[in-house]
Structures are given as structure tokens and as C-alpha cells.
């Protein structure tokens, strides 16, 4: 059981410290209270990611981030009432308060239900040539290169299975037989795995047109050359709570200009910024899509994910970003491969 006192925080706590509280309890929530233990609001993973997208820093305090009007219940409610409230409001936990709005408990839905499993489809794009990783990929497809003593693709499959997702389709191309022979039907990995094979390169979205059965729920698409320890349930919750048509994982990427940047107005120098750092959000290669988006994918045509998202933007369908704070590495170069092998044991 969760001791509610362990997840109570003050509003002047930093986002970084609050994340430790959230990630170290099964309810994945923090309760923001005043000095008298009165509830001020709640804070969860999605609240923090939205703040980071709005240029908050993990060193900022949570005062401007937490949700100030949470759903609560009084301490007279029965467990049946609390269960009904969770189902009606589509939430997994409810702070319990007394008549003075002081926290007395936290009701967590997961404790009364079996371990959560999800039937959302996972589509892994594993057909690339891995040209930049030659000669390592001369005989081995890039997703099957070993990092941490196992193929990259096995770590990806384990990550989804550990998050409760077991229905996996692999879109194959280069040396497809190596991957098929290793994973077979997926049973030894706790998953149900099937395969589709591209006869020509179709891009990171084009292979979706080859799926034998159209998903009936939001489905993940992920590049098969990534290492990340993200909890995929957080992304699914974020996607659903935003009523999005498509969600793209993004990663903050900093570029330092190695010179002093000079601001000029005509011939007059207006500013000097020594070696400034510019921050950008980059595409992290992990997506969540609503099933109807498959209808936008052309048959037998190269079509990648950036093109799909640009089409969504052009048609004003809701496409959102999900910022990653977890470990993430794109194994695109030999230097990435070597670095990931060094770092693997610290994150997996």
C-alpha cells in the first residue's frame, strides 16, 4: 500500500525532486499540500511534460505546474463509491480529504484490479539498411546488433511487454529472416509477434499500409534502432487525455554556437552573445496514432512519419508532442553504438 505521507510535497519543491516522488510510487502521483497538510492540488507525469513543452526547467518549482482543481473524495466514501468515481471520471487514484481538506489517504484503483494489460497494437519499423553502421550491418540487420548482451530489438520488445503491451507487429526489410528466426511467434518473450515484409522501401509510415488488420485502438509505431526506458503507459495516458489524433515523442536537443554571436542593426553592434546555446525539440522516433490515420497512408508508396505529421498539420488534425525525459539513444552511428554499450547497464 502507498503511504500518502510519502507522496505529499510542498509547492516550492523543484520539478526534478517531484519527479522522483512520482516515479517512486505505484500511483505515479504527488499530492501538493500546505504546511498544515491541506491539499492544494495534484501533480502527475503529464502535468510535468506539459510544463517542459512550455519551456519550464526541471530546476523550476512545482508551484506553477500542479493541477489546482483535482477530483477528491471525503473520508466518508465507501470503497464501492470510490471505485465508481474512478470509473466515471476515468482516473486511477483519488485523494481522500477530511472536512478541513487535509489529506487522510489516497485511493488507488490498481490495488483492486488485476495487473493491467493493454491490447493496443505495437508496430516496430525494423527494415532499415543500417548503412552508417557498416561493417557491423554487413551480415546483421541493425535492430539485431547487440547492446548490453542482447539485440536492440529484444530490449525494445521487453520494454513494451514490461509496460503491459504484448501485441507486436514487426515491419521487415533488410535480412528479414534473421529477425523472424530469432523472435518467431514471440512467446518466449511474453509477446504475440507477427511480421509483414516490405518488398521495397516504404518509409517509417508507408509500411502501415501492409498491416493485415487495421488496429481498433490507438497504436504505437516505433523505430527499431532506439534504446529508451520510457514507460509506454505514460505516453498512452497523455495521448488519450489530450484527445489527440497523433502523438510524437520529442527530445530536447541543444546546439552550442562555438563563437560569439553578434547582433547588428545596419553597421551598429547591438549585442554580443558569447557561445550561445540554442534548444530544439527533435523527433524521437516513437509515435501513437489513432486507427483512422492508416487511411491517409498511400499504398505501395514511400511515405515517412514527418510527411504524415505534416499532412495532419495541413488538415488541422490534432498532432501533439510528448517530451522525453527518460533515457533515449538513436543507434545511428558507430559512436552511438559504442556509447550505448557503455551506458546500458546504468539504465536497463
Per-residue pLDDT of 178-217, as tens digits, reads 999 999 999 999 999 999 998 888 888 989 998 988 899 9
CB 170 within 8 Å of CB 183:
yes
Q: Considering 112, 143, 167, which residue would you say is the last residue of a domain?
A: 112
What pLDDT is recorded for position 230? 92
What pLDDT is recorded for position 229? 93
What pLDDT is recorded for position 201? 85
| Statement: residue 116 has pLDDT above 80 | no
Q: Give the residues across from 253 on adjacent strands.
A: 280
Q: With pLDDT > 90 as the criterion, what percentage of the chain qualifies?
A: 48
CB 143 within 8 Å of CB 118:
no
Q: Considering 74, 94, 112, which residue would you say is the last residue of a domain?
A: 112
What pLDDT is recorded for position 115? 62
Helix (H, G, I), strand (E, B) or coil at 209: helix
- Within this chain, do residues 61 and 122 fall inside the same structural domain, yes or no? no
Q: Which domain holds residue 279?
A: 118-347
- Within this chain, do residues 104 and 137 fall inside the same structural domain, yes or no? no
Which of 16-20, 251-255, 309-313 has the highest mean predicted lDDT (pLDDT)? 309-313
- Within this chain, do residues 236 and 332 fall inside the same structural domain, yes or no? yes
What CA–CA distance (Å, rounded) separates 105 from 218? 33
The mean of the pLDDT values for the chain is 89
What CA–CA distance (Å, rounded) separates 344 from 268? 51
- Within this chain, do residues 198 and 74 fall inside the same structural domain, yes or no? no
What CA–CA distance (Å, rounded) separates 262 from 279? 19
- Within this chain, do residues 56 and 185 fall inside the same structural domain, yes or no? no
Torsion angle of the four alpha carbons 17, 23, 25, 30, in this order, in degrees rounded to the nearest 10: 50
Q: Stretch 132-144: mean pLDDT, rounded?
A: 88
Q: Stretch 285-295: mean pLDDT, rounded?
A: 95
What pLDDT is recorded for position 266? 82
- Within this chain, do residues 130 and 39 fall inside the same structural domain, yes or no? no
- Give the CATH number, domain containing residue 67: 3.10.580.10
Q: Stretch 101-115: mean pLDDT, rounded?
A: 73
Q: With pLDDT > 70 as the criterion, what percentage of the chain qualifies?
A: 98
- Within this chain, do residues 67 and 149 fall inside the same structural domain, yes or no? no
| Statement: residue 1 has pLDDT above 80 | no
Can you list the alpha helix ranges (DSSP code H) found in the chain?
15-23, 45-53, 79-89, 152-162, 176-183, 203-206, 232-241, 305-314, 334-347
Q: Stretch 24-43: mean pLDDT, rounded?
A: 88
Q: Stretch 62-69: mean pLDDT, rounded?
A: 89
- Within this chain, do residues 262 and 126 fall inside the same structural domain, yes or no? yes
- Within this chain, do residues 219 and 200 fall inside the same structural domain, yes or no? yes
Q: How far is CA 120 from the centre of its chain?
A: 15
Q: Considering 97, 112, 127, which residue would you say is the last residue of a domain?
A: 112
Of 40, 201, 76, the C-alpha closest to 131 is 201
- Give the CATH number, domain containing residue 230: 3.90.550.10
Number of domains in the chain: 2
- Within this chain, do residues 157 and 293 fall inside the same structural domain, yes or no? yes
Please work out, in degrees rounded to the nearest 5, the angle formed at the alpha carbon of residue 316 by the alpha carbons of 311 and 319.
75
Q: Where does the pLDDT of residue 31 fall: very low under 50, low under 70, confident under 90, or very high at 90 and above?
A: very high
- Within this chain, do residues 62 and 153 fall inside the same structural domain, yes or no? no
pTM of the model: 0.79
What pLDDT is recorded for position 79? 78
What CA–CA distance (Å, rounded) separates 174 from 90? 43
- Within this chain, do residues 102 and 190 fall inside the same structural domain, yes or no? no
Amino acid at each position: 500500500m502507498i503511504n500518502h505521507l510519502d507522496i505529499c510535497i510542498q509547492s516550492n519543491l523543484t520539478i526534478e525532486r517531484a519527479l522522483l516522488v512520482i516515479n517512486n510510487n505505484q500511483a505515479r502521483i504527488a499530492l501538493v499540500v500546505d504546511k498544515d497538510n491541506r491539499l492544494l492540488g495534484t501533480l502527475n507525469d503529464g502535468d510535468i511534460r506539459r510544463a517542459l513543452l512550455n519551456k519550464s526547467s526541471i530546476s523550476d518549482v512545482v508551484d506553477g505546474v500542479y493541477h489546482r482543481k483535482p477530483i477528491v473524495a471525503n473520508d466518508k466514501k465507501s470503497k464501492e463509491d470510490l471505485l465508481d468515481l474512478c470509473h466515471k471520471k476515468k482516473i486511477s487514484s483519488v485523494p481522500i480529504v477530511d472536512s478541513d481538506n487535509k489529506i487522510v489517504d489516497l485511493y488507488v484503483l490498481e490495488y483492486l484490479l488485476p495487473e493491467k494489460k493493454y491490447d493496443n497494437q505495437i508496430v516496430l519499423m525494423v527494415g532499415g539498411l543500417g548503412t552508417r553502421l557498416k561493417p557491423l550491418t554487413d551480415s546483421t540487420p541493425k535492430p539485431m546488433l547487440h547492446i548490453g548482451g542482447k539485440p536492440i530489438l529484444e530490449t525494445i520488445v521487453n520494454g513494451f511487454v514490461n509496460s503491459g503491451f504484448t501485441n507486436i507487429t514487426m515491419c521487415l526489410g533488410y535480412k528479414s529472416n534473421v529477425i523472424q528466426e530469432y523472435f518467431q511467434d514471440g512467446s518466449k518473450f511474453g509477446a504475440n509477434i507477427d511480421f509483414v515484409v516490405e518488398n521495397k522501401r516504404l518509409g517509417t509510415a508507408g509500411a502501415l499500409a501492409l498491416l493485415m488488420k487495421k488496429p481498433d485502438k490507438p497504436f504505437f509505431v516505433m523505430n527499431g534502432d532506439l534504446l529508451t526506458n520510457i514507460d509506454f503507459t505514460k505516453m498512452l495516458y497523455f495521448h488519450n487525455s489530450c484527445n489527440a489524433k497523433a502523438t510524437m515523442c520529442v527530445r530536447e536537443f541543444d546546439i552550442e554556437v562555438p563563437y560569439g554571436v553578434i547582433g547588428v542593426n545596419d553597421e551598429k553592434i547591438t549585442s554580443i552573445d558569447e557561445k550561445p546555446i540554442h534548444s530544439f525539440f527533435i523527433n524521437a522516433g516513437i509515435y501513437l496514432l489513432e486507427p483512422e490515420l492508416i487511411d491517409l497512408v498511400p499504398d505501395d508508396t514511400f511515405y515517412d512519419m514527418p510527411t504524415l505529421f505534416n499532412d495532419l498539420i495541413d488538415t488541422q488534425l490534432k498532432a501533439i508532442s510528448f517530451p522525453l525525459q527518460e533515457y533515449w539513444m538513436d543507434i545511428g552511428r558507430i559512436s552511438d553504438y559504442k556509447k550505448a554499450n557503455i551506458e546500458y547497464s546504468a539504465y536497463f
